[in-house]
Structure 1
Amino acid sequence: MARSPLSPFSPGFWRSPLRGTWFTSVLGVVLLGGITLLFVTGLLSYAAYNPDLSPVNDKTPDKGILGFYLFSWPTDPHWLYRLNQGVHVTLGITLIPVLLAKLWSVAPKLFTLPPARSLTHALERISLLLLVGGALFEFVTGVLNVQLDYLFPGSFYPLHFYGAWVFFTAFVAHAALKTPLALRNLRRLREERTEPVAPEPAAPTVSRRGALWFVGGGSLLLFLTTAGQSFDGVLRRTALLAPHGGAEPGSGPGGFQINKTAAYAGIDPAETSEEAWRLVVTGRGGTVRLSRADLLRLPLHSAALPIACVEGWSTSDQWWRGVRLRDLAALVGYEGDPPDVFVESLQRRGAFRRAALRANQVADPRSLLALFVNGEDLTPDHGHPARIIVPAAPGVLTTKWVARLTFGDL
């Protein structure tokens, strides 16, 4: 029996009969639609942070022209960010088997010699390296972020943002070159036999359609064990791969998901006691200091809103009650249309100890400095004595353990 070549640069090294133009084309078309949707929802997720509110919310200060599309994130519908981020994270995880299968199907092309036959071929190979490297980088950092495993150097936000632009640029170039060929190959969808990549293919153990069913089954399994973190009720129990998925944590009015506990954030209970805590509100009309008792004497309002985070998990609508942000703005000289607001927390550890909200978010009557949730005082882990809750905003902007509100131009 002849020995198989040991070098991946040898054509005889790649003998799987599954590799072929039809198999690769099917995977490529799936990724064409899926990755495009991933990129769009990723851009929207970034816009939801209102990064133009510099330097508070801006985690990518050198983005330059890449921020050309940014806009004031809306507050309607109130589940907008929950939907967008649920789609982004769930789709990204679901596409992992498809991506790996696609990389496996084209692996021989990465080792072809000579590496460049012409300038055009050299540019195509470079774009392919950027495409493969960018895809692996984006999917790996995304999965690590979802699992709260920050093993990569630096902040997730600029790494994922700039990586997405590099990857998608290479993806667009590759798609422009290969999509017409892929569509021609798919016209032969019912043909079991297509030209194989391997010059001396090994005996088949499964058909190409069988391989596609295997890849699709892997994607379906990941979907079923991830998507539940964005839903309510019994579906949430299927989110086995999501750190904040599964059954509702605890019971009672405060029995819903959290990202940071009071202990993790370094909150000293002595600071949040009714005797010690004061909310400082500043604006063009001066500064006022409000105790919890003072806040309770102001008009209180309620809103049913979810919390949705960048990792893809979200809560069901919780019933919040507190003082409207626009009413607090009125206390310091902003009657009528309120301005942006800068929010500071007692939090000592972790990201987003400070955050800013757009004027349209402050003006929404459902935007509250919440004091109660589901009929009871906020628990320490949910931000007692007061937290921000805003419709359609990412969870990190719904600041907990609020200490100061500064209204005005940021």
Structure 2
Amino acid sequence: MGRRPSPGGVPAYRRDMPAPPLPTSPDFWRSPLRGARFTSLLGLVLLVGVTVLFVTGLVSYAAYNPDLSPVNDKTPDKGILGFYLFAWPTDPPWLYRLTQGVHVTLGVTLIPVLLAKLWSVVPRLFALPPARSLAHALERISLLLLVGGGLFEFVTGVLNIQLDYVFPGSFYPLHFYGAWVFFAAFAVHAALKAPVVVRNVRRLRQGEEKEAVERDGTVLPPGPETDDLVAPDPDPGPPTVTRKGALWFVGGGSLLLFATTAGRGFDGPLRRTALLAPHGGADPGSGPNGFQINKTAAYAGITTAETDEDAWRLVVTGRTGTVRLSRARLARLPLHSSALPIACVEGWSTSDQWWRGVRLRDLAALVGHDDDPPDVFVESLQRHGAFRRAALRANQVADPRSLLALYVNGEELSADHGYPARVVVPAAPGVLNTKWVARMTFGDL
């Protein structure tokens, strides 16, 4: 016989069952892995990692020399946020390769740690009442900004390096301003949580089992009854892994992402391990021009008719006027060689390539800047994509390794590497090493 329905059509056994808890109830979060110590360890890793990410991100922005010319500045309304900007140096020549490689590789590597940290504190996002005190209100606000800002920065960063950026709006200002919001919330949250993190790490080193927590600005005596991240007794969820095992799982995920990303900054077999790296895959072609590129001549809208040796002319303007130079005439000028890498904001880089061409300071001398080379404004034949025009500082022009390159690794530049001529400057972001150069203007920008 079937169960007799109750009035209203709802079976009695269902009416008698307690309603499932809501996310605002501690009973909703039953994982026995959560706890202040687990969260503190993840937070300590992020404290170091996010600080390095923020600093290398600011350094990357400075490398574009945004105060030099409006064409270099993708965040013109930055105001006081640009207080730290400085003239980007040319030494060591691998500087940008290092800082931006660390920025991108570390950002990808920290993704499992960030996700684990968010999982560990998710009960607090739903806790009621929203604020118990001023300190608690500040903590909740910083937590919301921290979660939102962290997800925004990591998502937009990954989209930029993997998919040529598909997020609506310009990547540069969104990532720049988002970084400041995220790090400000991160700093406030870290300051509020520092006492409990230090206390729990100290207890972990001493082998103590109980965990300290902070509430309303006060570090409370340790004990699960004061930890709102611990699953409530007497009915926590069944454990599937220990906390130590969970930490090993997070660490293993980070190590896997590191191993499949970092190789894009190296040559040889290591480069092929970068399965998740920016623009992963084999280098274009082989031979002297067979190294990484960012955009092809076809993408940039370059035609063979305008780069033909008989048609192309470099226009150089300066103090004494303008000269027009064919590629053949450039090749008859004193040529010099430089061993320099190419490093991109997306995190990939090449090893040193052997470039040969005319020094930028010699081109400046052709138009009257003999003694003290000034800044230069470089324009490309490029029709599509960012940085069709770029400015370089006087120190970059004056460096003897800075070239208008005609050859690479003993052969003429290929079309994708900037034929008939491209700029190569030590320590500069790849986009400032302008390809398919058409005009150079030396002097005040």
TM-score by length of 1: 0.97
Aligned ranges for residues 209-224 of structure 1 at < 5 Å? Answer: 209-224=244-259
Please give the secondary structure, in 2, of the residue aligned with 1:93: helix
1:114 paired with 2:129, answer yes
Cα contact 1:4–1:12 (8 A) shared by 2: no
Q: Which of 421, 434, 438 is equivalent to 1:399?
A: 434
Matched to 2:179, the amino acid is A
Tell whether the 8 Å contact from 1:192 to 1:208 is kept in structure 2 after alignment.
no
Question: How far off is 1:5 after superposition?
Answer: 2.8
Residues in 1 aligned to 2:190 and 2:319: alpha-carbon distance in whole angstroms: 53
Q: Shift in Å at residue 401 of structure 1?
A: 0.3
How far did 1:203 drift?
2.0
Residues in 1 aligned to 2:430 and 2:280: alpha-carbon distance in whole angstroms: 15
Residue in 2 aligned with 1:100? 115
Shift of 1:238: 0.7
2:398 maps to amino acid:
A
Moved over 6 A (4+): 1-4
- Which stretch shifts more, 256-265 or 143-152? 143-152
The equivalent residue for 1:78 is 93
Q: Greater shift after overlay, 206-215 or 147-156?
A: 147-156
State the one-letter code of the partner of 1:231. F
Pair 1:177–1:329, CA change in 2 (3 A): same
- Whether the 8 Å contact between 1:138 and 1:163 is mirrored in structure 2 is yes
The correspondence for 1:269, drawn from 304, 307, 312, is 304
Amino acid at match of 2:46: L
Is 1:144 the counterpart of 2:179? The answer is: no
The answer to whether 1:171 aligns with 2:186 is: yes
SS of 1:28's equivalent in the other structure is helix
Note if contact 1:138-1:160 (Cα within 8 Å) is conserved in structure 2.
Answer: yes
Distance 1:182 1:4 in 2: 36
1:226 corresponds in structure 2 to 261
Q: Report the residue type matching 1:115 in the other structure.
A: P
- Tell me which amino acid in the other structure corresponds to 1:314: S
Q: Alignment partner of 2:307: what SS?
A: coil
CA contact (8 A) 2:162 2:279 kept: no
Equivalence map 1:292-331=2 (5 Å): 292-331=327-366
Q: 1:19 aligns with which of 31, 34, 47?
A: 34
Cα 1:2–1:210 shift into 2, 3 Å: farther
1:363-402 alignment, distance < 5 Å = 363-402=398-437
Conserved? CA contact 1:366–1:390, under 8 Å: yes
> Which range is displaced more, 395-404 or 126-135?
126-135
Q: Is the 8 A contact 1:356 1:397 kept in 2?
A: yes
1:60 counterpart = 2:75:
yes
Q: CA deviation at 1:274?
A: 0.7
Once the two structures are superposed, what CA deviation does each residue of 1:9-35 show, in whole Å capped at 9, x if it has no partner?
121110000000110000000000000
| C-alpha RMSD over aligned residues | 1.4
Number of residues of Structure 1 aligned to a counterpart in Structure 2: 410
After TM superposition, give the deviation of residue 2 of structure 1 in Å: 7.2
SS in 2 for 1:211: helix
Counterpart CA distance in 2 for 1:302 and 1:102 is: 49
User: How many Å apart are 1:248 and its aligned residue?
Assistant: 3.2
- Identify the range of structure 1 (141-150 vs 371-380) with the bigger mean alpha-carbon deviation: 141-150
Q: Which residue of 208, 215, 231 maps to 1:198?
A: 231
Q: What is the rounded CA distance, in whole Å, between the counterparts of 2:321 and 2:33 in structure 1?
A: 72
1:240-259 alignment runs, 5 A limit: 240-259=275-294
Shift of 1:148: 2.9
Match among 148, 152, 177 for residue 133 of structure 1 = 148
Aligned to 1:15, the other structure's residue is in SS state coil
Identity of aligned residues (%): 82
Equivalent pair of 1:245/1:313 in contact (CA under 8 Å): no
Could you say which structure has the larger radius of gyration?
2
Greater alpha carbon shift after TM alignment, 347-356 vs 236-245: 236-245
Q: Do the aligned partners of 1:341 and 1:358 also contact (CA within 8 Å) in 2?
A: yes
Question: What residue number does 2:198 align with?
Answer: 183
Partner residue of 2:216?
none
Q: Tell me which amino acid in the other structure corresponds to 2:231.
A: A
Distance 1:314 1:245 in 2: 12
| Higher mean displacement: 225-234 or 88-97 | 225-234
1:343 to 358, 365, 378: 378
Distance 2:312 2:114 in 1: 51
Where do 5+ consecutive residues of structure 2 fail to align? Answer: 1-15, 212-223
Structure 1 gaps of 5+ residues are: none
SS at match of 2:72: coil
CA distance in 2, matches of 1:126, 1:94: 27
- Distance in 2 (alpha carbons) for counterparts of 1:88 and 1:31: 14
1:57 & 1:360 partners in 2: Cα distance? 16
**C-alpha distance in 1 between matches for 2:253 and 2:17:** 35
SS of 1:133's equivalent in the other structure is helix
* Corresponding residue SS for 1:178: helix
Q: CA deviation at 1:4?
A: 7.8
The change in CA–CA distance for 1:150 and 1:3 in structure 2 (over 3 A counts) is: farther
CA–CA distance in 2 between the matches of 1:214 and 1:236? 26
